[in-house]
Structure 1
Amino acid sequence: MIDTQIIQFEVIVLLITWTTLLYFQKSKTLNNDVDITYFTQFIKKNGGNHLSHLTYMQDKDVYWAQEKQVAFIYKIIANKAVVLGDPLGDQVLLKRALVEFNDYCQKAGIKPIYYQICPENMQYYHELGYTFRKIGEEGIVSLDTFSLTGKNGAKLRSTLNKFTRNSYTFRVLQPPYSKELLQELTSVSNNWLANKKEKGFSVVAYSDDYVSNFPIGVIEESNGRIVAFATIATDYKNNVTIDLMRKHQESPAGTMDVMFVHILNWAKGNGYNSCSLGMAPLANVGQSKDAFFSEKLLRIAYEKGNKYYNFKGLFYFKTKFATNWEPKYVAYTKSPFPVILLQLMMLINSDANRKPKLSIDMIKKLFLIKKEGGLS
């Protein structure tokens, strides 16, 4: 029964896609460019969240609501304003800010969508008529309980000791950075990318300007050569996020395990409360027999789509460290969910220098369609 429903769903999605293909390419603009200096002052005062640092990619806009006391980080795709995470700022004003942004979007002829919102704020979206779908879970490490002692930490301890014996070292660098260091980081990043393209919106991309905003954890060989690095972002509420991660393809197995252990110990030693590992897309989505049909389809994508995106591998990696998992949702209204998914894919698969563009290959990746038809 489910196979028949899936095939019907594929046909519907493809029909929707073909009839809206040209329309998708014509995105509206609102021209709310980001003043990075002001934004930095704002989040230092009010705090951010596990996504707010992505504003420094400068591929998104900011709408200031409630007399600049609440910030909406968003990007336009077709007739949608996709807001990244919950609005930032004074949470007492959140409901009024949502109404204000809704009115603003309505006057501009666009529809707001909220991507990766937290459970505690869902009541406010619900009161404004939004529909929800779960799209993954954020892995979080409670640093006060993080430890490698005992049986659970044995494998990570063994890997860490191996790197120590082989004279690999870890340190955290602080900006500003020299031209020579940025060139070395660029080299590592390019080696990791190989023939892959950078993404955007909710997926961080490398640039000298971006990484220069954050402390950077590096793993070095005995000769000082950097083999891996990761930026460390803060929400200014005593929490950090392990952000952009890159390693040389010839780095030893377990390099990123060691990087995470060192960063978590560094954050714990510097008095931070928790560390976000970011969202594991589609993790624990659509598992219940009573789940929404669309979420069950996302579960199939999670199970069968790993040749396009390493859903399972990413989730497994984060389970090595995460002590808590927080569900994340997309909130939307008056739009078919398949269209929402396509538009989100277009945003994520377009970097800051490329206009979001829809392609049939993208559709095939989303719905796991083989060339001969059906699902992979």
Structure 2
Amino acid sequence: MVLAPAVFAVLSFGAGVILLWSLALPSLPEEVARLVPVVRVNASHFFSSLAGVLLLLVAAGLRRRSRSAWTLAFGLLIVSTVLNATRSGSLVESAVLAILAAALWLSRGAFYRPGGLRRALHERGWFLAAIAAFATFVWLGFVFFEDVPYSDELWWRFVLEDGGASRFLRGAAGGAILLAGVIAWRLLAPAPLEEAPPPLDEDRILRVLDRASFGRCDANLVWLRDKHLFWSESGETFLQYGVRGRRLIVMGEPCGRENDILPTLRGFRDFADRHGMELCFYSVGRDLLPGLVELGLIIQKIGEAALVPLPSFSLEGSARKPLRQIKRRVEREGFTFRIAPIDEVPALLPKLRPISDAWLARHEGEEKGFSLGSFDEAYLSRFPVALVEGADGPVAFANVWTTTSRRELSVDLMRYAEATPRGVMDYLFTELAFWGKENGYGVLDLGMAPLSGLEEDRLAPLLSQVGAFAYEHGGRFYGFQGLRMYKDKFDPVWEPLYLAAASRLGLPFALADVALMTSGGVRGVIRRPRSASGSAGS
């Protein structure tokens, strides 16, 4: 007989509830009071309360197929069966516990994940349910013994007949101390798998980036060193992920060999399964969708990326007149554009730091991470930097991501000084597009317009309808339409970007976790950008 781990989780939780509630009964059966020594009965009551609390807590681990949770639950059920027979002689209760232990033994093969119990204790829902169940036990005890006058003597009264109140108080105190200890540990201990990422193997990463036949510019986020890496068995493909709660959030697409992508996705799915974690992929394009569907993930469009085709890029035609005017005005005021090669960047950073700090102060912002670079000298020194310079030095900059295949280039950290010509970032993007065209790049990626392109008809998925509504009416809180209009002036091709999660019900929670991770917390999520152009440089 093999039952689903989720069933055992519920049954284990129920066994803990039964154990605790039975301890709240006011007295022992008369036949037991005559036969069982007083010390054994009182000890059995006390340790049964501890076992009941532990069964409540271990239930979440069973649901996650934890091997250590199975071992603990099986041992607790055996011990509880013996303790129950000793303290009350309830054959029905003992039989239920014994049958559950036998069923758990027969289903032991379903519990194969190493560890997992520590992670399970960080599940808020199960933990709150355990606290609520224990609270009902305490409440029932006080209801049953409301006629017993309280005195300090009750704590030290070890008798059989009429000793139910004393046994209840000691059991409740023991269970409360155990539960309080677990609560304190849960609050103080770091969440599982959230340790800092290990140091990077830089030579290995450089080899993969240089030889990659699959992947996008955002693979360069690896140099932020704020994410974990999962490597394929061949060692020639990696993906980047962060941990939030029980969710592994992959940033972008894997980078490496094209024929290695699907095995890498499968390996990562198995890795997540072994650790009882859910998968989430953020900001992925069409090319990865078949692999994600094969993993059983649910796909949700979250926006569109602005890709400017460079071979055909020019400033000819009436549609590009605003860009021509900006270019003439900026250059007339004595500003120029250039790309600073990587070897010049370290010496430039002291001049760029004040621009970055002032930009953050104007936007009341903080450095972020995960999906966006920060002004970190070690990070920025990895890339060429696009500069707009005047007589007194740089006034705007952006680090430039490239791919060795020259399929695309993109900008990451974009900041500008307050005293700059109007349209300075338009000028920077225009000149960068020409630079990319001259150097044989395919497209310039101007980044995502969140919620752009979502369906809002009545047959569209609910999350798409909500997103489309926010896009249309959420300008008060975030400039969704303004951001797209800003990028539209470069006449890009809009490519859809997607989020993938384990279930449709889990999509909103996955999206919330992504928002918190990419924005640096709740403050970053609710902060409203000042303008469309400011957003483009955020």
Scaled to the shorter chain, the TM-score interval is 0.7 to 0.9
Q: List aligned pairs for 1:262-277, cutoff 5 A.
A: 262-277=431-446
2:479 to 310, 314, 325: 310
> Where does residue 349 of structure 2 map in the other structure?
182
Structure 2 residue identity aligned to 1:336:
G
Distance 1:178 1:43 in 2: 20
Q: List aligned pairs for 1:350-361, cutoff 5 A.
A: 350=520, 357=521, 359=522
Distance 1:151 1:347 in 2: 42
Structure 2 residue identity aligned to 1:283:
S
Q: 1:99 is paired with a residue of what secondary structure?
A: helix
Structure 1 position 157, deviation (Å): 0.4
Q: How many residues align?
A: 341
> Where does residue 345 of structure 1 map in the other structure?
515
> Where does residue 298 of structure 1 map in the other structure?
467
Structure 1 position 248, deviation (Å): 0.8
1:219 has 2:388 as partner? yes
Structure 1 position 164, deviation (Å): 1.5
Distance 2:289 2:412 in 1: 26
Structure 1 position 39, deviation (Å): 0.9
Q: Kindly name which structure, 1 or 2, has the bigger radius of gyration based on alpha carbons.
A: 2
> Where does residue 226 of structure 2 map in the other structure?
59
Determine if contact 1:115/1:331 at 8 Å carries over to the other structure.
Answer: yes
Distance 2:473 2:191 in 1: 32
1:81-140 CA distances to partner (integer Å, 9 max, x unpaired)? 111112121222322221111111111221221111111321221122110110111111
> Where does residue 233 of structure 1 map in the other structure?
401
Distance 1:293 1:287 in 2: 9
1:34 to 200, 206, 220: 200
Distance 1:210 1:322 in 2: 31
**CA-atom RMSD in angstroms:** 2.6
Change (3 A) 1:269 1:224: farther
Which structure carries more strand by proportion? 1
Change (3 A) 1:113 1:178: closer
> Where does residue 149 of structure 1 map in the other structure?
316
Structure 1 position 75, deviation (Å): 0.9
Q: 2:388 is paired with a residue of what secondary structure?
A: strand
1:288-325 CA distances to partner (integer Å, 9 max, x unpaired)? 44221111111222233334433222211111114311
1:174-206 CA distances to partner (integer Å, 9 max, x unpaired)? 122365521111111111111311221112222
Distance 2:419 2:286 in 1: 41
Determine if contact 1:219/1:228 at 8 Å carries over to the other structure.
Answer: yes
1:327-358 CA distances to partner (integer Å, 9 max, x unpaired)? 011111146222112211111122xxxxxx5x
1:1-29 CA distances to partner (integer Å, 9 max, x unpaired)? xxxxxxxxxxxxxxxx9969999983523
Structure 2 residue identity aligned to 1:148:
L
Identity %: 28
Q: List aligned pairs for 1:231-270, cutoff 5 A.
A: 231-238=399-406, 239-270=408-439
TM-score, with length taken from structure 2: 0.59
1:134-182 CA distances to partner (integer Å, 9 max, x unpaired)? 0111111111110101111111101111111111111110122365521
Give the unaligned 5+ runs of structure 1: 1-16, 351-356, 367-376
Q: Per chain length, whose mean CA-contact separation is higher, i.e. which structure has more relative contact order (CA < 8 Å, sep 6+)?
A: 1
Distance 2:480 2:303 in 1: 10
1:45-97 CA distances to partner (integer Å, 9 max, x unpaired)? 11540311111111111110132122111111111111111212122232222
1:94 has 2:286 as partner? no
Q: 1:284 is paired with a residue of what secondary structure?
A: coil
Structure 1 residue identity aligned to 2:311:
D
Give the unaligned 5+ runs of structure 2: 1-122, 129-185, 529-538
Change (3 A) 1:161 1:339: same
> Where does residue 117 of structure 2 map in the other structure?
none
Determine if contact 2:372/2:412 at 8 Å carries over to the other structure.
Answer: no
Determine if contact 1:174/1:216 at 8 Å carries over to the other structure.
Answer: yes
Change (3 A) 1:310 1:364: closer
Distance 1:206 1:29 in 2: 23
Change (3 A) 1:42 1:247: same
Q: 1:87 is paired with a residue of what secondary structure?
A: strand
